[in-house]
């Protein structure tokens, strides 16, 4: 399987552009945090990845059972871990216009299809490298 690759281009201050498969996402911090609020925060991208991936996983789990999930929304709330620069608790809530028991069953089944939540569940090794084209 080909590795997933995304590139961030820094634009100064707290601004960057994330490029993935020819698409771009503007990233910045709110004015109150020293940015210009010209894009989403990196942490919003992180939590947004979880919300969108889980929504897709729920849709997939429903389709496997010939079901639809009208009005499907996935909301993710991340709570900061004390004064650490990380989140200590993340709550994923799915809502849809289907009976509660059916949605609960699909939530459990969808968990195994969500790459993002699976990555959070067993964090990967992260290696940091530097490269330069300047001699």
Write the DSSP string, 106-128: HHHHHGGG-HHHHHHHSPPP---
pLDDT of residue 60: 98
Q: What's the CA gap between 88 and 79, in Å, rounded?
A: 6
Helix or strand run (H / E) with residue 77: strand 73-80
pLDDT of residue 135: 82
| Annotation: CATH topology of 41-122 | GMP Synthetase; Chain A, domain 3 (3.30.300)
Q: Which residues of 106-116 are buried (b: 16+ CB within 10 A; e: fewer)?
A: bbebbbebbeb
What are the structural domain ranges in the chain? 1-40, 41-122
As averages over each run of 10 residues, the pLDDT of the chain (135 residues) reads: 94 98 97 97 97 98 97 97 94 98 97 96 95 89
pLDDT of residue 44: 97
> What's the angle, vertex CA 86, arms to CA 80 and CA 92, rounded to 5?
60
Q: Which residue has the tokens 């300047």?
A: 134
pLDDT of residue 71: 98
> What's the angle, vertex CA 53, arms to CA 47 and CA 59, rounded to 5?
140
**Of 59, 51, 69, 48, whose CA–CA distance to 110 is shortest?**
59
């Amino acid at each position: 399987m080909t590795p997933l690759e995304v590139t961030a281009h820094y634009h100064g201050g707290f601004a960057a552009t994330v490029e993935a498969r020819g698409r771009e996402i503007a990233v910045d911090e709110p004015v109150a945090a020293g940015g210009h609020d010209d894009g989403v925060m990196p942490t919003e991208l992180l939590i947004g990845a979880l919300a969108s991936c889980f929504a897709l996983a729920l849709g997939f789990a429903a389709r496997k059972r010939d079901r639809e999930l009208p009005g499907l929304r996935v909301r993710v709330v991340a709570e900061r871990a004390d004064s650490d620069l990380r989140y200590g608790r993340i709550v994923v809530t799915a809502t849809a216009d289907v009976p509660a028991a059916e949605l609960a069953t699909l939530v459990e089944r969808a968990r195994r299809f969500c790459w993002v939540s699976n990555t959070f569940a067993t964090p990967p090794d992260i290696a940091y490298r530097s490269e330069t084209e300047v001699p």
